[in-house]
Amino acid sequence: MEKSTESTDLSERPTGEARAATLRDSLGVGFAVGLSGFAFGVTAVSGGLSVAQACVLSLLVFTGASQFALVGALAGGGNPYTAAAGAFFLGVRNCFYGLRLSSVLSPSRRTRPLVAHWVIDETTAVTLAQPNAPLARLGFAVSGTTLFVCWNLTTLLGALGAGSIGDPDAWGLDAASPAVFLALLAPMLRSTAERATAVLAVLLGLACLPLLPTGVPVLVAALAAPLVLLFAGRRGRDTVAEPTDVGGSEEGRVP
């Protein structure tokens, strides 16, 4: 029994190669997505915010989609309270990420506020992609630190240089962060249900984009997950019911 326990513990310890791969992936995601903070800085100042306001948003909010939704709504002439509400509801998804990551990371009471602040799309994807808990903690820490530092530095640079950049949409800067996240997410879509959810979410988002205010199409796209689960559940019940009926009829024929 003791030998089997020791072998299990050793198998759970990440090798040097595994740690190096996690570090490489975490740093890559952190730098790549963090650089898109430049687009937020430009967008925020171009939309009427000051440099200080843009930087405070990145420091305290630190969830790219909600930040872009807020400044986009304000730039479009939306009510500040409505814009803030839309950004808030868009950021609620991080609460669900936190519920999942809490069992993986097991943060202490002292580090829990910092960990919660770093729970976003990219850090969640990096963490859940790891094969065991030690690598998951390493991936979260490295990707979170790198992304937070890069995002805030590039927000400052983008806000300071907004006047010379011009319209960020003309440069395609607003698409940088979503493109990186999609590249990160795509390899994780292994099952049919996951791929169906992703496709349905894209279709819902695109269909609602010209009809609903900024930020709301993303919320509608989130309905793809329960819809796919509902369909899969019904299909599963039908599949289970068929063999039972067939078996019953066959048993009835046995003399």
Integer Cα distance of 241 and 228 in angstroms: 20
**% of the chain beyond a pLDDT of 70:** 74
Indicate if the pLDDT at residue 1 is higher than 50: no
Terminal CA-CA length for the chain: 51
Model confidence at 145, in pLDDT bands (50, 70, 90)? very high
Report pLDDT digits (tens) over 67-125: 887 887 787 777 788 778 877 877 888 888 898 899 899 999 899 998 999 999 889 98
pTM of the predicted model as reported, rounded to 2 decimal places: 0.67
pLDDT score of 71: 84
Integer Cα distance of 116 and 126 in angstroms: 15
DSSP annotation of 190 reads -
Copy the structure tokens of residue 26. Answer: 């975490």
Q: Under 8 Å CB-to-CB from 77, ≥6 apart: which residues?
A: none
Integer Cα distance of 116 and 155 in angstroms: 21
Q: Are 13 and 131 in contact (CB under 8 A)?
A: no
- Which helix (H) or strand (E) segment is 179 a member of? helix 176-185
DSSP-assigned letters across all residues of 57-112: HHHHT--HHHHHHHHHHHHTT--HHHHHHHHHHHHTHHHHHHHHHHHHH---TTTH
Model confidence at 246, in pLDDT bands (50, 70, 90)? very low
Integer Cα distance of 250 and 255 in angstroms: 10
Between 171 and 202, the more confident residue is 202
pLDDT score of 149: 96
